[in-house]
Amino acid sequence: MPLISKTELNDKKDIFLNDIREGVLFIYPTDTIYGIGCDATNSASVNKVRKVKERFDMPFSIIAPSKEWIKKNCVVDDGVEEWLKKLPGPYTLILKLKNRNCVSKEVNLGLDTLGVRIPDHWFTKEVVDVVGKPIVTTSVNKHGQEYMTNINDLDSSIRPEYIFYEGVKKGKPSSIVDLTGKKPVVKR
């Protein structure tokens, strides 16, 4: 599992983007910590992430390819619109879905809600936006263990196809804001 720098990504971008569209698992940097993900519309790949993380009964969030994608697939009222203005940024917004088919059911386990985020990071702009599909976003760790902030934290049993790596991350996981009720509820 090779470590891929931003320069190497740009040198072979077409290959990496095609592989992502084909469903490979990969680790990537965000504005907070490292995430592990795949094409969120690919059921088999999402199940691989579940197996790697040993996380079978909790929904995953996604990196949305754009705010337009969020508006097309999620319920966006005035309250949600205010939070959308904070994106890109270190927030995961839990929203009601209006299009249940926008991600595989393995992402949100058939719920009528979805956690969405748009990290303020070059990877979002240069990869997720270009791929044009939602990407599973979850911390790189076995469920209940510490998340990855550098390559030395990576559990040896987690074996993605690629690790897009940019050194030590000093962030913490994104804040989770549930916008499915009458008032926002900050869960983390």
Block residue for tokens 């550098």: 150
| In contact, 36 and 150? CB cutoff 8 Å | no
Task: Kindly state the helix (H) or strand (E) to which residue 94 belongs, with its residue range.
Answer: strand 91-96
CA angle 146, 162, 147 (to 5 degrees): 5
Distances (CA, A) of 89 to 30, 103, 106, 120, 185: 10, 22, 25, 5, 17
Dihedral sign of CA atoms 28, 33, 37, 40 in order: negative
Largest Cα span, the chain: 47
pLDDT of residue 97: 97
Q: 45 phi and psi, to 5 degrees? A: -70, -40
Instruction: Assign domain 3-179 to a CATH class.
Output: alpha beta
pLDDT in tens, the chain (188 residues): 689 999 999 999 999 999 999 999 999 999 999 999 999 999 999 999 999 999 999 999 999 999 999 999 999 998 899 999 999 999 999 999 999 999 999 999 999 999 999 999 999 999 999 999 999 999 999 988 889 999 998 999 999 999 999 999 998 899 999 999 989 888 87
Domain ranges of the chain: 3-179
